[in-house]
């Protein structure tokens, strides 16, 4: 059976290109809408499995349209956004509203090289379609949970007791920004272990993403471009379109940004980050968390670390937007615990307090 996709974009050129890209997959049929208002009219009659939604449109923009969709007829929506800081901020707002994921227009608002993301778009449409049945339940559950979560107050770390664990490594991809935000918002400023994060994301997105998290969380959140000394109470976001390593220099442990490796498919690479952490710390000093995402980046490395003493968590299928990465960790016997995202922060606090 073919997947049905509604393409929403105010540019006739973009609509035509997106339609051609999707239908070249062979198992996708599509219709188009010229703005958010037009999309809502076509939604009921066409009943798409997935919607691709531009952000900047006249009459009704993408964020307003997304709000209506999630309130009235929840289904997976993939935002098609420009590679700018403004586009990134709007995309994060869309993810908070319930969008499944995003794809970037590599050439800007009207992209002439959209074919560069054809495979990515097709893959995300298929992944999104698989989530349609559980979409409404997951969106409602996340909203109820987030409504109960309050930002932990920032406070001094100096009086806090240290932990037997030295580092938390988090891997996350598709569906990850809102999941990561909900977890970090529950951690107190006195959290005694540094947290490093590899979130698959473009370079233009990681800086505004880190700034957004810093505003929302009690922990200090920064994007890592130059060497960053790892400190308790801090979260370090690996720079997009690059990789990151944990290194020990002159007796100090830092996170550094390095060029992306051609031998890894996803960036920032979770595999490279975990491997480097294991070179600096003993496995029994590490906590590894594998959140929502496609593929298996980091699963083998986290599983090996777990088998040698690291504590590990895989996000459960019940909450994961895409269960691929957590499933890979579980299948490789690497998940010490399998938890819904809503329970992960409390578990981290309990472990780190030891």
Per-residue pLDDT reduced to its tens digit, 202-247: 888 999 999 999 999 999 999 999 999 999 999 999 999 999 999 9
Q: Is 200 labeled as catalytic in the residue annotation?
A: yes
Classified as helix, coil or strand, 237 is: strand
Residue of 173, 178, 182, 316 marked catalytic: 173
Q: Return the domain boundaries, the chain.
A: 3-144, 167-352
The CA distances from residue 170 to 199, 229, 281, 286, in Å, are: 8, 17, 16, 11
pLDDT in tens, 17-68: 999 999 999 999 999 999 999 999 999 999 999 999 999 999 999 999 999 9
CATH for 3-144, among 3.40.50.2300, 2.60.120.590, 3.40.50.300, 3.40.50.20? Answer: 3.40.50.2300
The CA distances from residue 341 to 201, 219, 281, in Å, are: 20, 18, 26
* pLDDT exceeds 60 at position 340: yes
* pLDDT exceeds 50 at position 157: no
- How far is the C-alpha of 45 from the C-alpha of 22, rounded, in Å? 20
What average pLDDT does the segment 334-343 reach?
97
pLDDT in tens, 64-102: 999 999 999 999 999 988 766 778 889 989 988 889 999
Q: Is 81 labeled as catalytic in the residue annotation?
A: no
What average pLDDT does the segment 134-146 reach?
60
The CA distances from residue 270 to 35, 171, 277, 320, in Å, are: 37, 6, 11, 17
- How far is the C-alpha of 216 from the C-alpha of 205, rounded, in Å? 17
Q: Looking at the domain covering 167-352, what would its CATH class be?
A: alpha beta
The CA distances from residue 157 to 45, 108, 218, 232, in Å, are: 56, 43, 11, 8
Residue of 38, 243, 297, 319 marked catalytic: 297
Domains 3-144 and 167-352 share a fold: yes
Q: Nearest Cα to 157, choosing from 254, 253, 219, 233?
A: 233
Residue of 61, 200, 234, 257 marked catalytic: 200
Q: Is 204 labeled as catalytic in the residue annotation?
A: no
């Amino acid at each position: 059976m073919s997947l049905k996709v509604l393409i929403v974009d105010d540019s006739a050129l973009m609509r035509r290109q997106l339609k051609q890209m999707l239908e070249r997959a062979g198992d996708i049929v599509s219709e188009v809408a010229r703005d958010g208002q037009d999309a809502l009219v076509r939604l009921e009659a066409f009943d798409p499995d997935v919607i691709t939604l531009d952000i900047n449109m006249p009459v009704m923009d993408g964020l307003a349209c997304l709000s209506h969709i999630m309130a009235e007829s929840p289904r997976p929506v993939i935002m098609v956004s420009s590679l700018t800081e403004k586009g990134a901020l709007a995309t994060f707002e869309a993810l908070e509203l319930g969008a499944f994921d995003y794809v970037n227009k590599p050439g800007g608002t009207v992209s002439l090289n959209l074919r560069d993301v054809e495979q990515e778009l097709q893959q995300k449409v298929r992944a999104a379609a698989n989530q349609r049945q559980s979409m409404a339940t997951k969106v409602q559950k996340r909203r109820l949970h987030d409504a109960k979560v309050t930002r932990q107050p920032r406070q001094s770390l100096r009086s806090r007791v240290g932990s037997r664990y030295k580092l938390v490594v988090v891997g996350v991809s598709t569906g990850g920004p809102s999941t990561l935000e909900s977890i970090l918002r529950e951690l107190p400023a006195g959290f005694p272990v540094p947290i490093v994060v590899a979130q698959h994301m473009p370079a233009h997105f990681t800086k505004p993403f880190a700034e957004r998290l810093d505003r929302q969380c009690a922990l200090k959140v920064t994007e890592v471009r130059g060497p960053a000394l790892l400190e308790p109470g801090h979260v370090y976001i690996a720079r997009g379109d690059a990789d990151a390593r944990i290194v020990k220099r002159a007796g100090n442990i830092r996170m550094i940004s390095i060029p992306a490796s051609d031998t890894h498919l996803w960036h920032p690479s979770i595999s490279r980050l975990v491997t480097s952490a294991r070179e600096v710390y003993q496995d029994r000093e590490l906590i590894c968390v594998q959140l929502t995402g496609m593929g298996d980046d980091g699963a083998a490395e986290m599983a090996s670390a777990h088998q040698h003493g690291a504590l590990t968590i895989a996000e459960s299928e019940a909450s994961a937007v895409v269960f691929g990465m957590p499933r890979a960790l579980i299948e490789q016997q690497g998940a010490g615990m399998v938890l819904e995202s809503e329970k992960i922060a409390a578990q981290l606090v309990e472990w780190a307090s030891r």
